[in-house]
Amino acid sequence: MEDKELLLKIRNQETRGYGFNLLIRAYQQRVYWHVRKMVIDHDDADDLTQEVFIKVHKSIDNFREDSQLFTWIYRIATNECLTFLNKKRRRFFLPLEDVGKELVTKLDTSPEISGEDIQKKLQKALLKLPDKQRLVFNMKYFDDLPYEDISKITGTSVGALKASFHHAVKKIEDYLTA
């Protein structure tokens, strides 16, 4: 179902619930994995995904349709991730490196995350990146989003995104070859 049809169903009082359920079905898995790549922990990702859809539900009537619905939802998810990670740092007075170490520990001990050594090494390399650089790398490399869409999601210029992705790739290469 296209965005326009979904929005018509959501904005019609009689079909609002049905339309929102369709929206969740259409985007929930993509949002979950987008969030999960940032926060690593399944429970945190699950909670944040719910928060994203609660915010979407509350704000859907304000969606102006000047971007794709997917882009708008991803922007909400991205902001939720960054807010969550910043709160975690402030709550525990943790420097950036300690939060990274905590996420690496979760990566190593999580039963949901399996994989070969190279996959875990890549994930550990990603956790060494600053949050926004990791976000750009995830959206470009894993989600294969065009820079223009990432720009709309993050509110960052395409040139800055390309530079950020390049720096992320270089840091990951250095980590993997060390």
Helices (H) and strands (E) in the chain, counts: 9, 0
Neighbours of 11 (CB within 10 A): 13
Q: What is the pLDDT of residue 133?
A: 95
Answer whether 38's CB lies under 8 Å from 81's CB.
Answer: yes
Q: Extract the tokens encoding 65.
A: 């349709």
Q: 115 pLDDT exceeds 70? A: no
Cα separation, 124 vs 122, in Å, equals 5
Architecture of domain 3-177: Orthogonal Bundle (1.10)
Q: 97 pLDDT exceeds 90? A: no
Cα separation, 22 vs 161, in Å, equals 32
Neighbours of 32 (CB within 10 A): 18
pLDDT tens digits for 34-72?
A: 999 999 889 999 999 999 999 999 999 999 998 899 999
| Dihedral of alpha carbons 53, 59, 65, 66, sign | negative
Q: What is the pLDDT of residue 98?
A: 58
Q: 132 pLDDT exceeds 70? A: yes
For all residues of the chain together, what is the average pLDDT?
88
DSSP letter, residue 61? G
Of 115 and 82, the structure prediction assigns the larger pLDDT to: 82
Answer whether 19's CB lies under 8 Å from 12's CB.
Answer: yes
Of 152 and 91, the structure prediction assigns the larger pLDDT to: 152
Nearest to 28 by CA among 6, 7, 50: 50
119-128 mean pLDDT: 84
Cα separation, 51 vs 59, in Å, equals 12
128-153 mean pLDDT: 94
Q: How many CA atoms lie within 13 A of 87 on its CB side?
A: 9
Cα separation, 149 vs 157, in Å, equals 11
Q: What is the pLDDT of residue 176?
A: 84
Nearest to 52 by CA among 76, 36, 18, 16: 76
